[in-house]
Structure 1
Amino acid sequence: MSFVDRFDLTLPLIQAPMAGVSTPLLAASVSEAGALGSIGVGATDAVGARAMIEEVRGRTDRPFNVNLFVHARPKVDSVRETAWLQLLAPFFIEFEATPPPTLRTIYKSFADDPEMVATLIDLAPPVVSFHFGLPSPEVLSVLRSCGIYMLASATNLEEGRSIKAAGVDAIVAQGIEAGGHRGIFDPNAPDDELSMAVLTRLLVRDVGIPIVAAGGIMDGAGIAAALDLGAVAAQLGTAFVACPESAADAAYRAALTGPGAYHTTLTPLISGRPARALANRFTALAGLLVGQAPPDYPIAYDAGKALHAAAKTKGEHGFGAQWAGQGAPLSRAMPAAQLIQALRDELDGCKA
């Protein structure tokens, strides 16, 4: 059975589960419109994840995806963290705020979260996807026994082969163009920065399980191109940020139509892991903080969120985590169902 047939999709598309942006309402709206909606629960705990999954189920009886972060446990380094806060201190002062005295590990990895595992076993969402790595073979086995279809992100061929070897059902080929956090398993390893097209072709040729193409895809022509490359579906994230059902604030939405959309930047400064965002004041700090590595993810994100909160109180929104891919200038503000229909019409036009 094909990927599209398995989930009864009328459009071969997954809405990317951008944590903090994708809401249960957005996911349900996408699924109801004939694609695969997604929620990201990497930034919440098991209680929050349960509430989100149950809300999606209350809005639709169609399949949806639940995404989890499987990052390595961060190494606490008080010296490094204090140095990072000292470097950011002038920006806190600019907004008449004081940096936090210490930094916290604000998100727990799925690899270290037995409560989240128990929640997934109990609720058995139709699809579960992994970012930053893979859970243990034991966790994968129990999720598989629950009938859950599993996907995992890969940024290179080696990661793709690891995903297949682990028995995961499909791979999301995350090209360098993609917005949000880079799914690279080891953020300290060299990154080949493969494009969506090249990575998709490599994985299609060499891995032999379904491939979902992701990175810079914003319209039906992009979906058609991904399918021509051999992908079974495309994953779009930035395309849904401007939908009214997303959790993006007004400043984030406005930035999508501004000059920063034409100059997205891949930076670890905001969270501690490489992530692509709209060019703004935070991404511009790269030149000032050259040579100084941020604390591990997600410890660095505690500082980033605190700085953003301080800046917002003074009307400055340029320190937000405005995640977006290189296709950001192609963004369209419309309800999710309307966007799905536009994408479907565009894809059909490419086939004509």
Structure 2
Amino acid sequence: MSLIRRFDLQAPIVQAPMAGVSTPLLAASVSEAGGLGSIAVGATNATGARAMIEEVRSRTERAFNVNLFVHQTPQPDADREAAWLKLLAPSFNEFGAEPPRTLRVIYRSFADDPDMLTMLLDLAPPVVSFHFGLPPSDVLGALRARGICLLATATNLDEARAIKAAGLDAVVAQGIEAGGHRGVFDLSAPDDALGTMVLTRLLAREAGLPVIAAGGIMDGHGIAAALDLGAEAAQLGTAFIACPESAADDGYRMALKGGGACHTVLTTLFSGRPARAIANRFTALGSQIDERSAPDYPIAYDAGKALNAAAKAKGEFGFGAQWAGQGAPLARTMPAASLIEVLRSELRQARG
């Protein structure tokens, strides 16, 4: 059964679960307007995730998606982490701050978090999606037994085939244009950097699963293009950052309207994994230091967050992880429900 019919969606629109931006209010607003709202719980623990899911449910009776990170277990390396902090020290010093003495693993992978699984089995949200990889088959079986629809991100055909073999319900085709973290399974493998339209068509033909196109889609015309290529729905993330329901701070919103939005870059500086963000002072450090020396994800993120906090305390917002896709200059400021209605209208116009 298609996702549209299964969840009675009024529009083939999925709001991307961007950690740090998506909120229960945003997700519920999108779902109430006829799309599929999403929350990202990869940056919290089971207690925090439970509170977020319960808040979404208090705001809507419609379906919504809960996204989890399934990254490889990070390998702490004291020497590598100390060297990374030394590279960042001049930036900390600019704001009268000292780098942390040590770095922590601030986010647990879902593959290493049995408490998160227990919580999901208890609450059974309508949709659960995975980023960076797949959990073990027994975990997938337990979630499936609770009637949960399962999705996962793929950046290439091999990943999509693995998702199909694991028995998931649909695949999110994440093009290189997408904002936030690349969903690649294996960081040691070459990234083919396929664009959204090419990847969508490839997976629609070869993956054997319903496809949700993601990356650079900002309006109804982009949604129409994805559907014409065989996608069942389109996932939009950057398009919702400027909505008042998102958690983006003032600096993030200003950056989305500024010149840097026309120059998004893929960088590992923030977190240790490649992610697309608005060009700012932090991304500019890539010309001065070797990104490849960053500690494992999410250990590097501990340093990035500390530097951003030090900068913000002095009124500088240019060190934040301002995730955005290549379509950032097309962002529009309006409530989420209004945006869904505009997207639906544009889609109707584009498809005649």
TM-score, normalised via structure 1 length: 0.99
CA contact (8 A) 2:267 2:291 kept: no
Displacement after TM superposition at 1:290 (Å): 2.7
AA aligned opposite 1:39: I
Q: Equivalent residue for 1:54?
A: 54
Give runs of aligned pairs for residues 8-47 of structure 1, distance below 5 A: 8-47=8-47
> In the alignment, what sits opposite 2:170?
170
Shift, 1:188, TM fit:
2.3
The alpha-carbon deviation at position 2 of structure 1 amounts to 2.0
Q: In the alignment, is residue 93 of structure 1 matched against residue 93 of structure 2?
A: yes
Mark the CA change 1:278 to 1:331 in structure 2 (over 3 Å): closer, same or farther: same
1:293 is displaced (CA, Å) by 1.7
The equivalent of 2:154 in structure 1 is 154
User: Which 4+ stretches in 1 moved above 2 angstroms?
Assistant: none
Correspondence 1:3 to 2:3: yes
Distance across 1 between alignment mates of 2:218 and 2:143: 32
SS in 1 for 2:317: coil
5+ residue gaps, structure 1, are none
Q: Displacement of 1:186 after TM fit?
A: 1.2
Residue aligning to 1:295: 295
User: For 1:316-331, what aligned pairs fall within 5 Å after superposition?
Assistant: 316-331=316-331
In structure 2, the residue matched to 1:260 is 260
Which digits, 9 at most, give the CA deviation of each residue in 1:313-340, with x for residues without a partner? 1111100000000000000000000000
Higher mean displacement: 286-295 or 110-119: 286-295
Q: Residue 79 of structure 2 aligns with which residue?
A: 79
Query: What is the CA–CA distance in structure 2 between the aligned matches of 1:274 and 1:174, rounded to whole Å?
Result: 13
Letter in 2 for 1:45: N
Q: Given the alignment of the two structures, is residue 238 of structure 1 paired with residue 250 of structure 2, yes or no?
A: no
Tell me the secondary structure at the aligned position of residue 48 of structure 1. Answer: helix
Structure 1 counterpart SS, 2:217: coil
Q: Alpha-carbon deviation of 1:3? A: 1.7
Query: Aligned Cα RMSD in Å?
Result: 0.7
Unmatched runs of 5 consecutive residues or more in structure 2: none
Take 1:171 and 1:215, find their aligned partners in 2: how far apart are those partners?
14
2:246 & 2:3 partners in 1: Cα distance?
26
Partner SS state of residue 306, structure 2: helix
Q: CA deviation at 1:291?
A: 6.3
Q: Secondary structure at the match of 2:54?
A: helix
Residue equivalent to 1:284? 284
Change over 3 Å in CA distance of 1:292–1:198 after alignment to 2: closer
Alpha-carbon contact 2:128-2:149 (below 8 Å) kept: yes
Q: Percent identity?
A: 72
Give the aligned length.
352
Match of 2:104 in 1: 104
**Distance in 1 (alpha carbons) for counterparts of 2:351 and 2:294:** 47
Match of 1:200? 200
- Distance (whole Å) between structure 1 residues aligned to residue 17 and residue 249 of structure 2: 17
Distance in 1, matches of 2:277 and 2:14, equals 20
Shift of 1:308: 0.2
1:48-99 CA-to-partner distances (Å, cap 9, x unmatched) read 0000000000000000000000000001000000000000000000000000
> What are the superposed Cα offsets for residues 120-172 of structure 1, whole Å, 9 maximum, x if unpaired?
00000000000000000000000000000000000000000000000011000
Determine the structure 2 residue equivalent to 1:209.
209
SS of residue paired to 2:321: coil
SS of equivalent residue, structure 2 residue 293:
coil
AA aligned to 2:53 is I
Secondary structure, aligned partner of 1:153: strand
Q: Secondary structure of 1:140's match?
A: helix
